[in-house]
Amino acid sequence: MKENKFKSFILFWLSQSISELGSSMTSFALIIWAYGKTNSAMSVSLMTFFSYLPYIIVSVFAGAFIDSHSKKKIMLWSDTIAALCSSTVLTLLVMGKLEVWYIYIINGINGFMNSFQSPASMVAVGIIVPEKKYTKASGMNSFSSSLLTFVTPMLAAFVSSFLGLQGVIIIDLSTFIFAVIILTFFISIPEQLMNETDKKDNIFNGCKEGMGFLFKHKGIWYVIISMAFLNFFSRLTYENILSPMILARSSGNSNILGIVSAVLGMGGIAGGLIVSLVKLPNSNAKLIYFSAAFSFAFGDLFMGIGQNVYVWCIAAIAASVPIPFIAAGQNVILYNEIPKEMQGRVFAVRNAVQYCTIPAGIVLGGVLADYVFEPFMLSHNKLAFLLQKVVGNGSGSGMAVMFLCTGILGFITSILWYRNKHIRAL
C-alpha cells in the first residue's frame, strides 16, 4: 500500500515538475522581454518583488482555508488562474498592447494564488508520501527544482529564438493541461478536513492557530526563524549581484556567467540525487545547519575571493550541493512534528515568516552594491586597499566583498542556530 502511495507521489511530482518547467520558461522569457523593452534592471527586480509581496502577505491567512478545503481543488484552481494569467499575457502580446506594468499586476495575481497552491501542495505531499520516505521525496523535489534552474534558461532562450515569447507561453499552457489531467484523473489525496464548526471565522482563527502551534513548539518556530535569516543573507548576494559581479569581473563575458549559472544548477541536481539515494544522518538539526554553514563558508567566500571561472565554479558547487540537505532536514522535521490536520495552517504561516526576508534582501542587496560597497572599494580608504589584496580591485570588487560578508555572517549564524537548545531537542 505504501509503495502504491509513493508511486502516486512520483506521478504527482513528475507532472508538477513539467508544469513548473513551463511556468519557469515563461517567467524567464518575460524577464528577457522586460529588460529588452526598458533596459532597466529595476524593472526585473520589481517583477520578482511583486511576485513575493502578495505571497507573503496572504500566506499568513491562507492556512485555515487550506485545511478546510480539498487540497486537490485548491491546486487545480490555483493552476487554472495562473494559466489564465499566461493566456492574458499571450493575448496582449499578440495584440501589441503588452506593457511591463501589466506583468507586475499578473505577477501579483500569481503570487496571491501561489500563497494557496504552495502550502496545499506541501500538505498533499505529506499525505501521499509514507513517513519513512519524506527525505527521499524532499530530495526528489530539490533535484527537480535544481534541474529547472539549470534547464529553464537554455530551453526558454532556444524556444524564444525560434517561436518568440508567444511560443514559450503556448508551451507553458500545454504543460498546464498535462499537469491538470494527471492531478484530476490519476492522483488521489485522502484528506481530513475541518468540520463545519471549526470553519467559522477560519481566516483569522487559522492564522492565530498556526502561530499558536509554532509558539508552543519552540523548536519548529526557531527552525523557521533561522531559515528566514539564512534566506536574507542568500538573497543579498545570489539573487541580486552574482550576475553583475561576474560580468563586471570578466569584462562582460556572458559565457562565463552561463558556465557558473549552469554549475550552480548541476550542484543542486547532484545534492538532490544524493539526498534521494543515500541514507542521511539521523540528526536533522546537524543536516540543516552544518550544510548551511558549509554552503556559506565555502560557497560565498570562494565566490568573493575568486577572480576566474575555475574558482567561481568551485564556489558554485560548494554553495549549491548542500541546499537539498537543508531542505530535506527541515521537511522531515515539519512533517514529523506537525499533525496532518494542522499542516495547512502551520505551513502557510511558515511560508509567510520564512520568506518575508526575501524581498528585503533583494532590495537591500542592490542598494548596498550600487551605493555602498562598489563606491567604497573604488575609494582610497585603507580598509578598501586591504580588502583589494583579498578580492582584487576594479569594477565588481565591492560586490565580491559583499560575498565575503554574507559568507562570514551566514556561517556564524548557522552555527549559533545549531546551538539553540530548542532546535537540538528536535
| Closest to 30 (Cα-Cα) out of 173, 160, 195 | 160
Instruction: List, for the chain, all residue ranges whose pLDDT scores fall below the cut of 70.
Output: 1-5, 35-36, 39-45, 60, 63-64, 192-206, 239-240, 254
* 203-426 matches 1-184 in CATH topology: yes
**The predicted structure's pLDDT at residue 204:** 57
**The predicted structure's pLDDT at residue 130:** 83
| Closest to 336 (Cα-Cα) out of 348, 328, 325 | 328
Alpha-carbon distance 348 to 319, whole Å? 27
**The predicted structure's pLDDT at residue 211:** 81
**The predicted structure's pLDDT at residue 192:** 62
Run of H or E residues at 362: helix 357-368
203-426 belongs to which homologous superfamily?
A: MFS general substrate transporter like domains (1.20.1250.20)
Name, in order, each residue with C-beta under 8 angstroms of 288's C-beta and a sequence gap of 6 or more. Answer: 223, 226, 325, 326, 329, 330, 418
**The predicted structure's pLDDT at residue 98:** 85
Determine contact, residues 301/185, Cβ cutoff 8 Å: no
**The predicted structure's pLDDT at residue 361:** 85
Alpha-carbon distance 125 to 138, whole Å? 9
Determine contact, residues 128/72, Cβ cutoff 8 Å: no
Determine contact, residues 303/355, Cβ cutoff 8 Å: no
Alpha carbon 226 to its chain's center: 16
Residues 310-351 pLDDT 10s: 999 999 999 999 998 998 899 888 888 888 777 777 887 888
- 5 phi, psi to nearest 5 deg: -65, -40
Neighbours of 17 (CB within 10 A): 18
Quickly list DSSP for 266-279.
HHHHHHHHHHHHSP
Name, in order, each residue with C-beta under 8 angstroms of 98's C-beta and a sequence gap of 6 or more. Answer: 89, 92
pTM here? 0.74
**The predicted structure's pLDDT at residue 83:** 92
Q: Which amino acid, 81?
A: I
Neighbours of 198 (CB within 10 A): 16
Q: For the chain, give the longest Cα–Cα distance.
A: 69
Strand runs labelled E in 331-389: none
**Reported CATH class of domain 1-184:** mainly alpha
Determine contact, residues 64/345, Cβ cutoff 8 Å: yes
| Residue given cell 565591492 in the structure block | 398
Strand runs labelled E in 205-272: none
Alpha-carbon distance 355 to 357, whole Å? 5
What residue segments make up the domains of the chain, in order of their start? Answer: 1-184, 203-426
Alpha-carbon distance 426 to 422, whole Å? 7
